[in-house]
Structure 1
């Protein structure tokens, strides 16, 4: 969505940091779009009893930046404010990373639904208005890292890929309207899929925001034409974990999972700067014809498991959102 410039804005905003045995870098470019609608979060160390956990996210906004900025600021807060994260019985399990993966998955799903409900209220002036003050929406692709597990989460058509031994090991599924399961939900809610878009307009079938597509009476939030329900992938950490990429479709539209993995793997052998790798990736995607905003977040794994007494200091935690 969105209009295009006569020439691309190629200035990049980049940052990097480390913590909990991880190194990361992120770079963003407005590109050909009139507005920059992406947002991101890089938190290598959470606080309190979750200081051995890390959180990273990329949000690809559309129809304006409000939804992406809001979710960048509030999604993690909502996730850790619901059970099991908020339960006193889970405190020791959170500290050690031994909380069951099934419980974490349920908490992540609840957090997504809650931040979507909160965003709806924010866009209607606390429920005082009967019309939307803003029509924006956003995809969300996130990675929550515990001492023992990786939780990749996707809602929309941004994508995360985990690479092990230099090859794609886990790839999140893009939520597109023409996917059979997504189409079935859309049509069951009384909408249609035209030219691979919801009602011929929206190119994603799951998103946060986009409340013009979430007003069907008698349908739960996850049954609406556009659903805020995330897909969560939980797996145990492994010494074979090399790196993960979280990126918006401005990257994946022009590079395959394998091509991007080879691009990063080759440069990791010769470049010490993860920022430089991310910036080169954006330049390459622009040259390959990407016309969208671009955000690429690279996380490198050096330790398969983090024990609390050995948690190193964190630096450069960043949230690119609004309060």
Structure 2
């Protein structure tokens, strides 16, 4: 069987991520109207890895952070109302006390159709995702996917440092996710907590030698 190669000029459009998000949101609306039920909404994030390419589609307050040789690299953006102010105001919405129309702490989400004037055609709360693309390199060690309750008590850097230390101890991505949630609870997170850790290497993250120590060692060797 021969390999099949397909050339795609715009892979993001080919994957139809934005269309899938909007279809899902419309399905929520139909289900809500058919069942005559009121329900709250949800934020969402999708990560797709194809060979060395990684695509992150985000709508809301979830976040993906990549660890590249100990450095935290943010792979998505939180859609807080103050960040999305321009499109909110363009669609007739407003921000009150940090909340979209005084209701929500995010500017993009699924559902929330029960809040009158917030969702629908030309309304300020949208489900359209923001899509980012990156290329993985050998220095990429792992990534953390977490919802807003986790990032409320962790910075990108502290989450990577904590996870890196745990992976060096046991090298178990599933256990690392549990460790991160437990630590978020210990830090008194008051929101939903979901964390997924994805490792790109079979070995645990290497211990990094500070650069000043490396220079001192090299200088010592030259003197011998």
TM-score range, shorter chain: 0.7 to 0.9
SS in 1 for 2:21: helix
Displacement, 1:243? Answer: 0.6
Displacement, 1:207? Answer: 0.5
Bigger CA radius of gyration: 2
Displacement, 1:261? Answer: 0.2
In the alignment, is the contact (CA less than 8 A) between 1:176 and 1:205 conserved in 2?
yes
2:33 to 116, 124, 132: 124
| Distance in 1 separating the partners of 2:64 and 2:31 | 28
In the alignment, is the contact (CA less than 8 A) between 2:143 and 2:197 conserved in 1?
yes
TM-score normalized by the length of structure 2? 0.80
In the alignment, is the contact (CA less than 8 A) between 1:142 and 1:246 conserved in 2?
no
What residue is the counterpart of 1:115 in the other structure?
24
List runs of 5+ in structure 2 lacking aligned partners: 203-224
Q: Show the 5 A alignment for 1:1-323.
A: 92-93=5-6, 99-100=8-9, 102-105=10-13, 107-125=16-34, 133-179=37-83, 182-211=84-113, 212=115, 213-216=118-121, 219=122, 224-302=123-201
Deviation string, structure 1 residues 156-201 (Cα, Å, up to 9, x no partner): 011111111111123311001111xx11222222221101111111
Give the superposed CA RMSD. 1.9
Change (3 A) 1:140 1:228: same
| Distance in 2 separating the partners of 1:168 and 1:114 | 33
Work out the number of aligned pairs and report it: 195
SS in 2 for 1:160: strand
Displacement, 1:298? Answer: 0.3
| Distance in 2 separating the partners of 1:105 and 1:162 | 24
| Distance in 2 separating the partners of 1:105 and 1:294 | 31
SS in 2 for 1:279: helix
Displacement, 1:302? Answer: 2.8
- Larger strand share, 1 or 2: 1
Higher relative contact order (CA 8 A, sep 6+): 1
| Distance in 1 separating the partners of 2:131 and 2:103 | 26
SS in 2 for 1:292: coil
TM-score normalized by the length of structure 1? 0.57
SS in 2 for 1:142: strand
List runs of 5+ in structure 1 lacking aligned partners: 1-90, 304-323
| Distance in 1 separating the partners of 2:183 and 2:166 | 13
Displacement, 1:104? Answer: 2.6
What residue is the counterpart of 2:211 in the other structure?
none
Displacement, 1:268? Answer: 1.2
